[in-house]
């Protein structure tokens, strides 16, 4: 009773091990199922007992517990030897733990160094042997044991030390892994190679003595070098840093971070996550945005250090601990050690040093910088752009995000500007202003005056007068379509005023862009939003105004393969039928509310096609495919934008400083942001079919005069984007009515009068005495003859 009270009264239940699930990393996969990343604090891969080679199991038995399959949980001869040793010397107690005892300690007990813990360990080992088979105990052990290099379990260690799976290991490699449980640091190949080889060969000798290997196998294996690989970090090729971090953030929000948060936590739940990431498009987006930022920064002075650290004898460790890195071109991250004349000595995280021949005066010791090799130990300082930006690429049919770039490099700045940076969208908000105007009765051919527009705001704010970009003068009466194509502020404000700002901000809020007050300045992009929100709103225009939710995760499975989250929640009745029933092909029901009239959404997309063909984004016309889009430039200018794309791919990009600052008078969306999209689209859309934007049911295509918006009957549109006659899009009963122009009618009337007058004079000369009235007609008779006005 006393023994039970002292040692066994609060022992954990060994039956818990039946359902034990070790912490496993979460594996992230791209849209095609290829693994691209894992979230792990412990590197671990769980295998079944049958997955482990017999020789590998015998290597661990030789090193740890030769009689494992014979004893009932305790090795009595070993315990007796350990007792004698502990009685004859002081210090740390020596144990004779079996593999079963190690499982008990690692999974159910603590690492406390005491005789009480050893007794509890022995009692628990007996219970484990009663509950689990020998194979189940070994499976737990081989999956759980820590073997160094952050590897938990033998499969993870095989990858960490040899870059192999367990079934690919050679005999000497198995023996090396078997010596690691006693203390991985004691046999690190970097600084204890001889000791490691000696212990490895001891294991091989034990295997030979137990007749588990032949003499020939033993002799061949003992003369082999260790041949371990260098310690490596990420197993997967690095792709989509900002995208992957956004996935992690959403997973933690939904499932928690650690074991304490539940069985499906990100860092212990062993989740399998299928994302919408397209690695190819991600690389294109990253390269395009980086090149755009570098183009803007070209010729500007050095932007300053990325960060700073203290310079002392531990500078290399300090630099490594910042985790600052980059994969751009041949750039490397270094720290300034000291100034040397006009140059500087620099150091790298692996302890190497080098020199910069020429450095700006403000470069100081401790500055973390980017450099590129120039040969030997010489390097050149590189300018990391101070300006930044974000880019999102989305599927407009379902909202899945294919690519996301939140800055120059996520390891230099973790701030994701694609989702977190609230910026003024400038003119990219205008399509939603004009969409409201279309819903309030206007058409693409409606005439709006491009002239000064002022409003009285309040007694404190006074009178507010708006102006066009660059203070350009008004162009007089113009069509709504022309106002969008040329991005005219004055026409936008008039359209917003006529449609009602309450209606405009309601549309903007409904489309998920932002929640603004009904002030006219918001019609010109004075509010704030993110590039992800705006790109999603443009995608909904392409999707005929139907709601889309931007997603980066398609579905999540737990460690057993059960789907525990799915982004696509559409219901598809009869999709799982065994045989075709002769009816219509079953299809998933559309999801999402109808946020905008489908015809209005298409009208705006069609109008924005004109922005590309003859408006502020004409530089994209060379892509030679149906595209829509809108440029934007905020006041200052502090931000430049472009959002647009094709019927199957929409992308949004902005550039600006993190602390809003003037980018220079030349900075415009059409000159800075649109080229980023163009560089991306040239690669991303190569080989894609040139699909046109399809009009929804009810839209009427009418030939109109591009400048006046009036209906045309005698001419046809041409391939010339500046053709005088174009096809315009109208809702039913809103197209321009068929009519003859007044001036044309009057001209024809005057010509007829002149003809009749001449005939009358001629008749008089021929027959002065004639009594007939001739052919004279009054206006009423002429109109009756012509069939009236129509």
Residue 95 CA to its chain's centroid (Å): 52
Q: Are strands 151-152 and 332-340 parallel, antiparallel or unpaired?
A: unpaired
The H or E element containing residue 178 is helix 171-178
Residue pair 221/175 in contact by the 8 Å Cβ criterion:
yes
350: which 2 tokens? 């692996």
**Beta bridge pairs of residue 257:** none
Annotated catalytic residue: which of 38, 64, 485, 487?
Answer: 64
- How many residues would you count in the chain? 790
Contacts of 5 (CB under 8 A, 6+ apart): none
Q: Any catalytic annotation for residue 427?
A: yes
Closest CA to 622 of 678, 670, 684: 678
Helix, coil or strand: residue 415: coil
Tokens at residue 10, please? 């609060």
Cβ atoms of residues 359 and 344 within 8 Å:
yes
From residue 109, alpha-carbon distances to 74, 636, 739 in Å are: 17, 64, 92
Between CA 194 and CA 276 the distance in angstroms is 48
DSSP-assigned letters across all residues of 285-313 = HHHHHHHHHHHHHTTSPP---SEE---ST
How far apart (Å, rounded) are the C-alpha atoms in residues 611 and 122?
A: 79
* CA distance linking residue 784 with residue 774, whole number of Å: 18
Q: Report residue 208 CA to chain centroid gap.
A: 55
- Quick one: tokens of 38? 């894992």
Q: Is the peptide bond before 344 cis (omega within 30 degrees of 0)?
A: no
From 374, 309, 361, select the one nearest 337 (Cα to Cα): 309
130 is catalytic: no
Q: Are strands 725-730 and 700-705 parallel, antiparallel or unpaired?
A: antiparallel
Alpha helices in 357-479 (DSSP H): 430-439
Scanning 515-582, the segments in alpha helix (DSSP H) are: 531-542
First to last CA, the chain: 113
Report the DSSP beta bridge partners of residue 223: none
Options 427, 487, 539, 634, the catalytic residue: 427
Task: Report d(CA 115, CA 110) in Å as an integer.
Answer: 13
Which residue, 15, 65, 51, 207, is CA-closest to 139? Answer: 51
Residue 698: count other Cβ atoms within 10 Å of its Cβ: 12
- Nearest Cα to 394, choosing from 525, 228, 278? 278
List residues with catalytic annotation.
Answer: 64, 427
């Amino acid at each position: 009773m006393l023994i039970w009270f002292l040692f066994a009264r609060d022992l954990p239940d060994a039956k818990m091990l039946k359902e034990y699930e070790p912490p496993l990393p979460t594996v992230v996969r791209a849209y095609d199922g290829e693994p691209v990343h894992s979230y792990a604090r412990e590197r671990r891969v769980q295998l079944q007992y049958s997955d482990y080679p017999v020789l590998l199991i015998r290597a661990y038995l030789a090193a740890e517990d030769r009689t494992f399959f014979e004893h009932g949980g305790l090795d009595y001869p070993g315990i007796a030897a350990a007792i004698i040793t502990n009685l004859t010397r002081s210090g740390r107690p020596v144990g004779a733990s079996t593999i079963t005892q190690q499982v008990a300690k690692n999974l159910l007990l603590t690492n406390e160094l005491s005789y009480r813990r050893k007794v509890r360990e022995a009692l628990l080992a007996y219970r484990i042997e009663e509950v689990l088979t020998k194979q189940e105990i070994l499976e737990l052990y081989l999956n759980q044991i820590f073997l160094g290099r952050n590897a938990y379990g033998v499969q993870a260690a095989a990858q960490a030390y040899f870059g192999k799976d367990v079934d690919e290991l050679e005999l000497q490699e198995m023996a090396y892994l078997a010596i690691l449980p006693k203390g991985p640091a004691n046999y690190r190949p970097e600084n204890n190679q001889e000791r490691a080889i000696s212990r490895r060969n001891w294991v091989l000798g034990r295997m030979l003595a137990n007749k588990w290997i032949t003499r020939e196998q033993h002799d061949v294996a003992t003369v082999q070098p260790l041949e371990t690989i260098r310690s490596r970090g990420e197993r997967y090729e690095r792709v989509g840093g900002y995208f992957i971090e956004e996935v992690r953030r959403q997973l933690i929000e939904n499932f928690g971070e650690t074991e304490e948060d539940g069985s499906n936590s990100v860092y212990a739940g062993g989740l399998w996550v299928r994302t919408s990431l397209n690695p190819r498009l991600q690389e294109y987006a990253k390269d395009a945005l980086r090149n755009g930022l570098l183009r803007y920064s070209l010729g500007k002075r050095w932007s300053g250090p990325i960060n700073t650290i203290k310079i002392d004898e531990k500078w290399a460790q300090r630099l490594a601990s910042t985790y600052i890195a980059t994969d751009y071109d041949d750039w490397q991250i270094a720290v300034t050690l000291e100034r040397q004349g006009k140059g500087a000595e620099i150091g790298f995280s692996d302890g190497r040093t080098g020199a910069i021949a020429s450095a700006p005066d403000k470069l100081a010791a401790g500055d973390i910088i980017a450099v590129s090799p120039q040969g030997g130990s010489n390097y050149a300082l590189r300018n990391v752009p101070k300006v930044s930006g974000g880019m999102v690429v989305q599927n407009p049919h379902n909202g899945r995000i294919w690519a996301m770039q939140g800055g120059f490099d996520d390891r230099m700045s973790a701030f994701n500007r694609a989702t977190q940076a609230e910026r003024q969208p400038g003119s990219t908000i205008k399509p939603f202003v004009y969409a409201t105007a279309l819903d309030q009765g206007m058409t693409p051919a409606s005439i709006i005056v491009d002239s000064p527009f002022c409003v009285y705001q309040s007694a404190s704010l006074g009178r507010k007068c708006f102006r066009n970009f660059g203070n350009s003068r008004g162009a007089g009466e113009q069509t709504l379509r022309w106002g969008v194509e040329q991005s005219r502020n004055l026409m936008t404000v008039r359209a917003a005023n006529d449609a009602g700002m309450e209606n405009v901000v309601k549309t903007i809020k409904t489309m998920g862009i932002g929640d603004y007050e009904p002030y006219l300045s918001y019609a010109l992009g004075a509010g704030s939003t993110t590039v992800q929100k705006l790109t999603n709103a443009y995608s909904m225009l392409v999707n005929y105004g139907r709601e889309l939710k931007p997603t980066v995760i398609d579905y999540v499975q737990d460690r057993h393969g059960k789907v525990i989250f799915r982004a696509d929640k559409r219901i598809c009745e009869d999709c799982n039928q065994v045989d075709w029933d002769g009816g219509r092909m079953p299809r998933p029901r559309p999801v999402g509310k109808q946020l905008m009239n489908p015809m209005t959404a298409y009208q705006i997309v069609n109008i924005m096609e004109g922005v590309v063909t003859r408006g502020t984004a004409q530089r994209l016309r060379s892509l030679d495919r149906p595209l829509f889009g809108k440029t934007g430039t905020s006041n200052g200018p502090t931000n430049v934008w472009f959002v647009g794309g094709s019927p199957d791919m929409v992308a949004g990009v902005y550039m600006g400083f993190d602390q809003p600052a003037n980018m220079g008078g030349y900075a415009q969306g059409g000159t800075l942001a649109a080229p980023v999209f163009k560089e991306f689209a040239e690669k991303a859309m190569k080989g894609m079919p040139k699909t046109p934007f399809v009009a929804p049911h009810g839209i009427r295509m009418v030939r109109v005069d591009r400048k006046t918006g009036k209906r045309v009957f005698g001419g046809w549109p041409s391939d010339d984007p500046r053709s005088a006659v174009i096809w315009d899009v109208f809702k039913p009963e809103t197209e321009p009515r068929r009519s003859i122009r007044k001036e044309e009618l009057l001209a024809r009337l005057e010509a007829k009068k002149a003809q009749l007058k001449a005939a009358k004079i001629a008749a008089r000369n021929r027959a002065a005495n004639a009594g007939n009235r001739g052919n004279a007609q009054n206006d009423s008779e002429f109109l009756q003859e012509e069939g009236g006005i129509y």
